[in-house]
Each structure stands twice: as C-alpha cells, then as structure tokens.
Amino acid sequence: MTDQDREDGAEFIERVARVLRAPEVLDDGFERRVMATVRADGGSDRARWRRPFTLTSTPLRALAMAAGFAAIVATGTVGVQRMLGGPGAEGTVATAVNATDTVHVVRFVLAAAGAREVTVVGDFNGWTRGATRLAPVGADGVWSVSLPLGAGRHEYAFVVDGERWVADPLALRHVDEFGTESSILRVGAEVQPGA
C-alpha cells in the first residue's frame, strides 16, 4: 500500500466519520407522532410487530449503516479471537487478509493487412461487437490491444471491418454447435490442463 493510498483511505474515513458524528435532527412533531402511535397501539407488542414496516434511507445513511455494521463485525472478531486464544491472548491482534483475484494483462494481436477496423469479442466482453477495438501498431496491417483478464479459460475471436469473424491463427481453436470457429486462451498458472 502506497502513502497516497493511505492518504486517500484516511480522507475517505474522515468523510464517513464526519457524517456519522453529525447529530440527527428530528422535526418538532416527531415525538408527538411516536407517542400517538404508541397510545393507539394500546401497548400491545403483538400488534406492533404485525404491522407493515417501511424503512427509507438515503445513500449516505446506508453507507453509515454499512460502516457501523463493519465496525460491529470487526469488534466481534477481535473478541472471538481473544476468547479462542485462551490464556495469554491479551496480546493477540485481529488481522484482516485481503483476498484478491489476480488479473493478467493479455495482449491480443492480429495481422490483417488492408483492414480498416479490428475488434476482439469474447466471453470477457459479452461477445459485444465494437466493445473492444484494437489499434494499429508499427507494422502495416498489425493490430493490437491489451486487456486485463482473470485467470481461467476464455473464448474469443476477432471481427475485421465489422463483418468478418476471424479466429486467432496462433491460438487453440474451438468450433461451437453452429459451426462458428473461435479461439481459446488459458490465463494464469492455476488453470488445470483441459480446463
């Protein structure tokens, strides 16, 4: 984590804390309405809990509630850790481990002399034509784009000039039930053979 990330995090926490520290202001009729509802209810717990309840909130209040819930969970985790740690657990500190998915940057390259436009479609962009355009690079007719992809098996193909579907000539091929040919790319070391 860089110093800039820490500063950004501290700034975000301060903005959230400022909202949480602000007093909640209720209108003058709030107490009157609450007491009228309690009197009309007759004090019956059963009647109170059967009545429909609607909770409305702003995004900022929802964020504050989420932050409060996270604080409760974190506090509970420390307490459980100390309880399970037995004697001498006073010095135990709860730690959080960030589980991150590894993203790999993959460069797609196609030699398509005379092409006016080349795009790549695949399971990583919902097979949407025109969503991911390749740019012409140094050599005449060579197109390229780099994309972040998660580990696993990906299918893709190139679309030249918005019409011609081209499987990558340097990759494994796959033909679907309609006879359409695409390419297969396996990303990451954790991919098992045949996946």
Predicted structure pTM score: 0.47
Angle 59-85/3-21 helices, nearest 10 degrees? Answer: 110
Instruction: Count CB atoms within 10 A of the CB of residue 142.
Output: 17
What CATH number was assigned to the domain covering residues 103-187?
2.60.40.10
pLDDT higher than threshold 80 for residue 83: no
Give the confidence band of 92 by pLDDT, cuts at 50, 70, 90. Answer: very low
* 11-49: pLDDT as tens digits: 877 777 777 777 777 778 878 888 887 777 665 555 555
Beta bridge partners of 142: 111
**H or E stretch at 65:** helix 59-85
Q: 19: part of which helix (H) or strand (E)?
A: helix 3-21
Mean local confidence (pLDDT), 88-105 = 56
Give the model's pLDDT for residue 179. 87
Per domain, the residue ranges of the chain are 3-91, 103-187
